Amino acid sequence: MKKSNLTIAVLSGKGGTGKTLLSVNLAAAAETAVYLDCDVEEPNGHLFFQPEITSEETVSAKIPLIDYNRCNGCRTCVDFCKFNALAFIKNKPVLFKDVCHSCGGCVLLCPQKAISEEEKNVGVIQSGMSGQVRVHTGCLNAGEASGIPIIKELLKKSAAETALPVFIDCPPGSACSVMESVKDADYCVLVAEPTVFGVHNLKMVCDLVEVFHKPHGVVLNKCLEEENPAEEFCKEQHVTILGRIPFDSKLGSISSSAKIAVKENNRYRELFSKLLHTIIEEASRETATHPQR
Amino acid sequence: MKIAIPMNEQSMHTDVCPSFGRAPYFLFYDSVTNEAYYLDNEAVASQGGAGIRAAQVIADRGVKALIAPRCGENAAEVLTKAEVFVYRSIPGTARQNIEAHLNNQLPLLNEFHAGFHGHEKK
C-alpha cells in the first residue's frame, strides 16, 4: 500500500527538554493523528491524552535456553556475549536473563546446537483513542535491559498507517533505543534548551540524525528574551530552526496539570498549529527532493 | 591460596577500590609463594554486566578469596557458584587487608547490593 502520510520523530539529547510537550501538542494540533510513545522506560504522553484503552498486548523478547545435556562446555557462547549476560562456571554457561539483550548470537554460534530460544515477557503496549488521536503507549517492565522489542512493535503500528500523520515521542539521548525510534521517520524534530548544556545535547542528536541521513530541524524550547546558545549553534551549523516555544509560566502550569496547551489556550493553539504547518512543509519538501523510501 | 583485590592503583601500599565491577585493576596475590601481579579490569568499559565479567576473570584465575568493600548481586552469584569466598575489606591498603585476611580478621561479606548500573558515585 502506498503511504501518503508523514512520520515525524521528536527527539532530544536529554530528558526534560520538551519532547512530550511538543509531540503531544503537534498530534493535538493535527486533530486526527497517531501518537506513539517510544519513551518506553517512562512513557508520559498518555497522562495528557488520557486515552480510553481499548487493547493491551504483551511484548516478549527471545532469550537463550541452554540444553545442558548437549552442552560440552566449549565456552564459545560466553566468549561471544558482548553484554556479559553469560558466565562460565564449573565448565558450564550460566545465563543472567536481565542482562541479555536478545541478540541471538549465542544461538547461532553454539557448535553443539545446545542453545534454543524462549520468550520472555518484557512489557506491554496499550492502545486507545483520545478524541481523534490514536495513542499507542509502550511500557517496559522495570529492570529490563532493553526497550527495543517494544519500540519495534510500536513502529509496526506506524508502518500500518497510510493516511494519518504519525508523531513519535522518542526516548531521551542518542543510544540504541533512539536510533530504533527514528529509523523509519520521514523527518526528525530536535528539541533544544537555550543553555550551553542544551547545545552539547543538541549536537549529539544532530550527529545521530545525520548518521541516519534524516532530514531534520530544531524547535527552540524555553526561549527567553536573551541570548540563546542553541539558536547560535543552529545558525553556525546551518540547521533549520522550525520555531520557538517561549519559557512561560502559563504553559508550564497547563502542562503540570496534565492538560494539552493546544486545547486550553488560543495563543498556544496558534503557536503549535504554525509549528505543525512548518514541520509538514519542511518534511514534504525534504522527502520530495530526497526520496528515500 | 590465591587472593584477589579490586584496586585503583597498581601498588600494595594503596587503598582497596570501593567498586568491584568497575575497579581499574585487580591485584592477584598468592599467599603460598608471596607472588603478586596486577591485571587491567577488562570489564571497566562494559555497558552492562561489568560485575559478571569481573567475577568471571576472578573465577577463571582460580582465586579462592576476594577482598572487597562491597559486591553486586550478579557478581556474587557468579562468585558463589564458582566457590570464591568474598570477604569484607577494612579501610586501608591492600597489604593491610591481606595481612588481616591471613590472620582470619576479615568477616565474610554477606550483603550484596542490586547493582549501580552506571550510577555509581566516584
Tell me, yes or no, whether A272 lies in a domain: yes
What SS3 state is found at B110?
A: coil
Residue A168: domain span: 7-59+123-289
A102 shares a domain with A131: no
CB contacts of A78 in chain B (<8 Å) are 56
Candidate from A83, A88, A90 with C-beta closest to B49: A83
How many domains are there within chain A? 2
A88/B49 Cβ within 8 A = no
Tell me, yes or no, whether A170 lies in a domain: yes
Residue A228: burial class (beta carbons within 10 Å; 0-12, 13-18, 19+): buried
C-alpha cell read off for B111: 550483603
A148 shares a domain with A90: no
Residue A35's CB is within 10 A of a number of other CB atoms, namely 27
Q: Which among A76, A95, A113 is the end of a domain?
A: A113
Tell me, yes or no, whether A77 lies in a domain: yes
* Domain limits, chain B: 1-51+73-91
A75 shares a domain with A25: no
How far is it, in rounded angstroms, from Cα B4 to Cα A288? 63
Q: Residue A87: which CATH number?
A: 3.30.70.20
Instruction: Render each residue's pLDDT in chain A as its tens digit; 293 residues.
Output: 556 799 999 999 999 999 999 999 999 999 999 999 999 999 999 999 999 999 999 999 999 999 999 999 999 999 999 999 999 999 999 999 989 989 999 999 999 999 999 999 999 999 999 999 999 999 999 988 789 999 999 999 988 888 999 999 999 999 999 999 999 999 999 999 999 999 999 999 999 999 999 999 999 999 999 999 999 999 999 999 999 999 999 999 999 999 999 999 999 999 999 999 999 999 988 877 765 54
Report yes or no: A172 and A14 within 8 Å, Cβ to Cβ: yes
CB contacts of A83 in chain B (<8 Å) are 47-49
C-alpha cell read off for B62: 582460580
Residue A74: burial class (beta carbons within 10 Å; 0-12, 13-18, 19+): middle
State the pLDDT at residue A288: 75
Report yes or no: B59 and B75 within 8 Å, Cβ to Cβ: no
State the pLDDT at residue B122: 40
Q: Residue A17: which CATH number?
A: 3.40.50.300
Whether pLDDT at B88 is above 70: yes
Distance from CA of B48 to the nearest CA of A (A): 6
How far is it, in rounded angstroms, from Cα B82 to Cα B58? 9
Tell me, yes or no, whether A38 lies in a domain: yes
Residues in A whose CB is inside 8 Å of some CB of B read 78, 83-85, 87-90, 94, 96, 99, 145
Closest residue on chain A to B59 (Cα): A89
B56/A87 Cβ within 8 A = yes
Distance from CA of A200 to the nearest CA of B (A): 20
What ipTM does this complex have? 0.86
Give the orientation angle of helix B73-81 with respect to helix B50-60, to 10 degrees: 20
- Which string of DSSP letters, residue by residue, matches B45-56? T-SS-HHHHHHH
CB contacts of A84 in chain B (<8 Å) are 43, 46, 48-50, 52-53, 56
User: Has domain B1-51+73-91 been given CATH number 3.30.420.130?
Assistant: yes
State the pLDDT at residue B31: 94
